[in-house]
Amino acid sequence: MLRCIIKKILQHSYVGEQGTSKGLLSAFPTALLGEHRAAVGHRSKSSLPEVRERTLIAVKPDGVHRRLVGQIIQRFEQRGFKLVGLKMLQVSEDLLSQHYIELRTKPFYPRLQQYMTSGPVVVMVWEGHKVVQTSRVMVGHTNPAEASAGTVRGDFSFHVSRNVVHASDSLEGAQREIQLWFKGRELLNWDCCDQSNTCDV
Ligand code: DAT
Ligand code: MG
């Protein structure tokens, strides 16, 4: 009940900033209001570029077939990152060759292409402080045989040709990959209800 009253007052204060709601608002302790300000859409530090860092994560066809999508998403949610884009698709050879532009001349590329186009992938954009670097640590070494336990690859795979997940390896790479896989309108800017503990840090 108290939460509803506070929310109503805050909603009024965002519409007008003047009149009775402002007077009533000042009667509430700041700590009590902080959570509710975030919940009704107050924007603060989340617009800073460092906090808004984004990366591309994809569950590869083996991960989808093995029903690992949920567990992989859970790891990123648990870490505190914010999901801003998500879709499932069948990758074309053309999209894959643009994604792996630097690997196209590698001897293993034909097998990589066959594997990556063999079934659907689930591709996501995650946002948060140092998300590119942290995701690479969470995903683990390219070769699962060298990936630490506790990483996605270290826990769910044993061979480089079936390493379950993709994660962008740099800020520039992430920007390029996000633009390649997602249209701008497919990415959502939204404020978490626990913004002060996850995003505005
Ligand atoms: P990462 O996925 O860790 O960024 P990468 O960009 O070097 O690694 O390679 C992309 C993918 O290509 C990798 O996840 C699995 C595949 N790959 C890399 N090296 C390989 C190899 N020697 N044999 C087979 N597949 C390989
Ligand atoms: Mg890579």
- Please give the model's pTM, rounded to 2 decimal places: 0.79
Q: Which residues contact 140 (CB under 8 A, 6 or more apart)?
A: 147, 148, 151, 152, 153, 154
pLDDT at 140: 98
Residue 167 lies in a domain: yes
Place of tokens 């698709």: 89
Residue 122 tokens read as: 């689930």
pLDDT at 193: 85
Residue 73 lies in a domain: yes
Intervals of the chain under pLDDT 50: 1-2, 4-46
pLDDT at 41: 35
pLDDT at 49: 56
Residue 201 lies in a domain: no
Number of domains in the chain: 2
pLDDT at 199: 73
Same domain? 35 vs 74: no
Is residue 83 packed enough to be buried (19+ CB in 10 Å), middle (13-18) or exposed (0-12)?
Answer: middle
166 annotated active-site: yes
pLDDT at 51: 60
Mutate to test the pocket of ligand 1, among 96, 112, 153 (most ligand atoms within 8 A of CB): 112
Residue 197 lies in a domain: no
pLDDT at 200: 74
Closest ligand 1 atom to 169 CA:
4
What's the CATH number where 144 sits?
3.30.70.141
HEC states along 87-148?
EEEECCHHHHHHHCHHHCCCCCHHHHHHHHCCCEEEEEEEECCCHHHHHHHHHCCCCHHHCC
